[in-house]
Homo-oligomer: A and B are copies of this chain.
Amino acid sequence: MDVQPRRNTTQKRVILHSVEQLGCHPTAVQIYNAVREMLPRTSLSTVYRNLGILVDQGRIKAVKGTGSEIHYDHNTGEHNHIECTICGRVCDVHVNPVNIETLNPETVSNFIVLEVHMNIIGICPECAEH
C-alpha cells in the first residue's frame, strides 16, 4: 500500500508512448512488438510489468473483451467499449453513462454499486462491407 520509488526508464516511456500511438486498445503482445521496433532488446515481462505499473498509477486502463487477452487503453476517462465480433477490434464508445443513483437497490440484489460497465458487441463498418 505504500508507494515505491519509481525510476523513469526508457522502456517505461516507450511502452506508454506505444499504448498511446497504437490507439485502438492494443494487447500486451501488440505493444511488445511496437516497443521492440524502438528498443529491440525489450522483454515481454518488462512490457507486462510496466503495463501493470501504469494501470496501478491510473495512467492507462486494462480492458477485457470477449477474447482471452487483456487490452490496454490510454483513454482513462469515463467511456464504454464496442467490440467487433469479426475482427476483434475494440473501440471507444460514448453512450450516456448509466446513472448509478437510478439503479434500484432491489434490482441489483442489494449490492453497493461501484461501477457500471457497458460492453457492446457488434460489427465494425469495415467488416460490415465484407
List of B residues within 8 angstroms of A107 by Cβ: 93-95
Can you list, as one digit per residue, whether each of A86-130 has a CB less than 8 Å from chain B (1) or not (0)?
Answer: 000001111100100001000111111111111111111100100
The distance from the CB of A64 to the nearest CB of chain B, in whole angstroms, is 7
What is the oligomeric copy number?
A: 2
Closest to A95 in B: B107
Partner of A128, one of B64, B103, B112: B112
**Contact A111-B120, Cβ < 8 Å, known A64-B66, A66-B64:** yes
> Complex formed: what's the CA distance from A94 to B104 in Å?
10
**Contact A118-B116, Cβ < 8 Å, known A64-B66, A84-B111, A107-B93:** yes
State whether B118 touches A114 (Cβ < 8 A).
Answer: no
State whether B111 touches A82 (Cβ < 8 A).
Answer: yes
Asked if A85 is an interface residue, CB under 8 A from chain B, the answer is: yes
The distance from the CB of A36 to the nearest CB of chain B, in whole angstroms, is 26
Which 5 A/B pairs are nearest by Cβ-Cβ distance?
A: A111-B122, A112-B123, A115-B121, A113-B122, A117-B119
Residues of A within 8 A of B (CB): 64, 66, 82, 84-85, 91-95, 98, 103, 107-125, 128
